[in-house]
Structure 1
Amino acid sequence: MNDYVAINRANWDERAPAHADSPDYEFDQFINDPEHLSGVVRFDRPRLGDLTGLRAVHLQCHIGTDTVSLARLGATMSGLDFSEAALEQARRLAAGTNSTIDFRHAEVYDAVEVFGRESFDLVYTGIGALVWLPDVARWARVVADLLRPGGRLFIREGHPMLHALDETADPPVLHYPYFETADPVIFEQAGTYVQTDTTFTHALTHTWSHGLGETITALLAAGMRLTGLTEHDSVPWQAIPGHMTRDETGEWRLTHHPERLAASYTLQAVKE
């Protein structure tokens, strides 16, 4: 096992139960309201289109809130994550919402071995996933191999412009790589991005940025055709504390001059 996998898995294994118990992930709303969707899926609902009858996989599905949301929109869902602790919470959510979802435990680069080639009409990746992978070109080949001809990739992700900022500086400044690098960016942060009173012991993470052009080029090289790209001035978490305001949908954007920051993007591509 690569060191980065073990380091990052320890971080996510510890945080998964706290995330599921946090009001920010809205497990109670999912269980009590059969029409409730995650904020990330609600945001992109107009772009997702009709999912009825599609066989879909959510890569790096974490605790399954987006996965359940896509199932509620009519897709036959599978989910994959490298954290068994996260999948335990995802299965608990699926059971509580009477959702039939095939959750599998594996690294994203092994997804084709787990599910088989050309098994899906839709590959979905939610926000905050790609930064955990060192090689975006390898990821793009996995996506292409999972899709049937004519199948679609749908991804909402934090913008590499945002990831390049040091959010702890006041004002924030460019500090981290925009482009993919061989070496990871190493963080040691004891907290997490949701409301929780849990104290964590695994604080170390290894992440990578992937430039928007690098991601698109990787998909094109893997045999995909770009069909949509929208850059947004918002993200679903307070990425720059003290400098962002939350709107009524739960999205955060710069309080002053939000037009200056590409904070996230939605990308769609089709397998030729």
Structure 2
Amino acid sequence: MTTPTTSPSVPEGWREDNLAMWNERVPVHVAGEYYDLDGFRARPDVLRDFETAEVGDVTGKSLLHLQCHIGTDTLSWLRRGAARVVGLDFSAPAVEAARALAADLGHGPERAAFVTGDVYDAAGAVPEPSYDIVYTGLGALCWLPDIRRWAETAASLVAPGGFLYLAEFHPLTESLDDATGTRIVRDYFRRDAAVWDEPGTYADPGAATVHNRSVEWQHTLGDVVSALAATGLRIEFLHEHDVSLFPRFENFEVRDGYHRFPADHPRIPLIYSLKATKG
């Protein structure tokens, strides 16, 4: 991973650049081995063990997945027993791919609905006003410049007695060197956007791509928790995990289905998860 250039907090054209980048990568993800959609159709469940343990029984629940991409996590919750799932993403090709995947699994829109929309405008885009569970998965928050606005939107969609569940890559990892994860090389508290210009995708680094400019933001753990607490949601827990889903550092090893540091490497949090309830 190269070091990005820094820009003003919200560079002009950031959303258009990110949308073009994601739209172009959808067919790569649909066809590639990383998501393995043929395997998913045979066994539609890609949720991580800590997510299913922390979310608990979803039987009979309605679930909204914000920034759902091609819907694999969304549809996994349906297999786990959710009564209805709704996925939202700003990429129309991603939403079409998710709808096609749902149809392949025999789910109509009454059980699995996917809609195109900006996460900040989710309240006006999704079919119901609130959901038992609002879920946001790994690798989502870095695409959003305003974490407070995200928290307000997400909280507004949680039904009374329901909860928001977030699993996300730990922001500490973005401050460490890419080779060993032992040296601090980037400012943890930086607020400016990081502008990248890189071909390929995490799912296929060698893919030939044209729309390679993307814009991301760092949100500290304190920023995320404080933003959610300010909405009135009650933070039930904040957990940190020493596993990752991809080889974030060059010295990672794969053990027990996760990417990890070598056994003799000092452990640091690589993913965090939290649950926040609405009274």
**TM-score, structure 1 length as denominator?**
0.91
Match in the other structure for 1:112 = 123
Residue identity opposite 1:119 in structure 2:
S
Count of residues paired in the alignment: 265
2:100 corresponds to which of 68, 89, 92: 92
Q: Spell out, residue by residue over 1:67-122, the C-alpha distance to the aligned partner (whole angstroms, 9 max, x if none).
A: 01011112210000001111121112111111331111011000011137841110
**CA deviation string 1:98-151 (max 9, x = no partner):** 133111101100001113784111000110000000111111101111111221
Does the residue aligned with 1:194 lie in a helix, a strand or coil? coil
CA distance in 2, matches of 1:71, 1:247: 28
Q: CA deviation at 1:15?
A: 0.7
Quickly say closer, same or farther: Cα 1:192–1:214, change in 2 above 3 A: same
The alpha-carbon distance between structure 1 residues 173 and 45, as it changes in their structure 2 partners (threshold 3 A), is same
Task: Name the counterpart of 1:178.
Answer: 188
Paired with 2:278 and 2:265, the residues of 1 have a C-alpha distance of 34
**One-letter identity of the residue aligned with 2:255:** D
* 1:220 alignment counterpart: 229
Paired residue for 1:66, among 40, 55, 73?
A: 73
Q: Quick one: which of 185, 208, 215 aligns to 2:217?
A: 208
- 1:259–1:228 distance in 2 versus 1, CA, 3 Å: farther
Q: Show structure 2 runs of 5+ residues with no match.
A: 1-11
Q: Any conservation in 1 of the 2:199–2:207 contact (CA below 8 Å)?
A: no
- Deviation of 1:257 (Å): 4.2
Alignment check: 8 A CA contact 1:123 1:152 kept: yes
Give the alignment of 1:139-154 within 5 angstroms: 139-154=150-165
Gaps of at least 5 residues in structure 1 are: none
Percent of aligned positions that are identical: 38
Residue 159 of structure 1 deviates from its aligned partner by 0.2
CA distance in 2 between counterparts of 1:226 and 1:93 reads 34
Q: What's the CA shift for 1:156?
A: 0.8
- Is the partner of 1:223 in helix, strand or coil? coil
**One-letter identity of the residue aligned with 2:256:** E
Q: Distance in 1 between matches of 2:171 and 2:251?
A: 18
Query: Do the aligned partners of 1:82 and 1:108 also contact (CA within 8 Å) in 2?
Result: yes
User: For 1:42-75, what per-residue CA distance to the aligned partner results, in whole angstroms no more than 9, with x for missing partners?
Assistant: 4422112110111110000001100010111122
What secondary structure does 2:100 align onto? helix
In structure 2, what is the equivalent of residue 5 of structure 1? 15
User: Does the Cα contact within 8 Å between 2:190 and 2:218 map onto a contact in 1?
Assistant: yes
Question: TM (normalized to structure 2)?
Answer: 0.88
Kindly indicate whether the alpha-carbon contact (under 8 Å) linking 1:18 and 1:196 is maintained by their aligned counterparts in 2. Answer: no
Residue from 265, 271, 274 that aligns with 1:264: 271
Please report the RMSD computed on the Cα atoms of aligned residues, expressed in angstroms: 2.0
Offset at 1:260? 3.0
Q: Tell me the alpha carbon deviations over residues 161-213 of structure 1, each in whole angstroms, 9 at most, x when there is no partner.
A: 0122342x5666433342361x3111111121114753111111100111111
Change (3 A) 1:70 1:84: same
With over 3 angstroms needed to count, the CA separation of the structure-2 counterparts of 1:177 and 1:107, relative to structure 1, is farther
1:189 maps to 198
CA contact (8 A) 1:166 1:174 kept: yes
Whole-Å separation in 2 of the counterparts to 1:215 and 1:3 = 25
Please say if residues 231 and 263 of structure 1, whose CA atoms lie closer than 8 Å, have aligned partners that are also in contact: yes
Asked whether the 8 Å contact 1:180–1:211 carries over to 2, the reply is no
**1:233 correspondence with 2:237:** no
Query: d(CA) in 1 for partners of 2:53 and 2:181?
Result: 34
**Structure 1 equivalent of residue 7 of structure 2:** none
Distance change >3 Å, CA 214–CA 189, structure 1 → 2? same
Q: 1:186 to 1:166 in 2, by over 3 A?
A: farther
Aligned counterpart in structure 1 of residue 261 of structure 2, from 223, 248, 254:
254
User: 4+ residue stretches of structure 1 with deviation over 6 A?
Assistant: none
Shift in alpha-carbon separation, 1:173–1:269, aligned structure 2, 3 A: same
d(CA) in 2 for partners of 1:143 and 1:222?
9
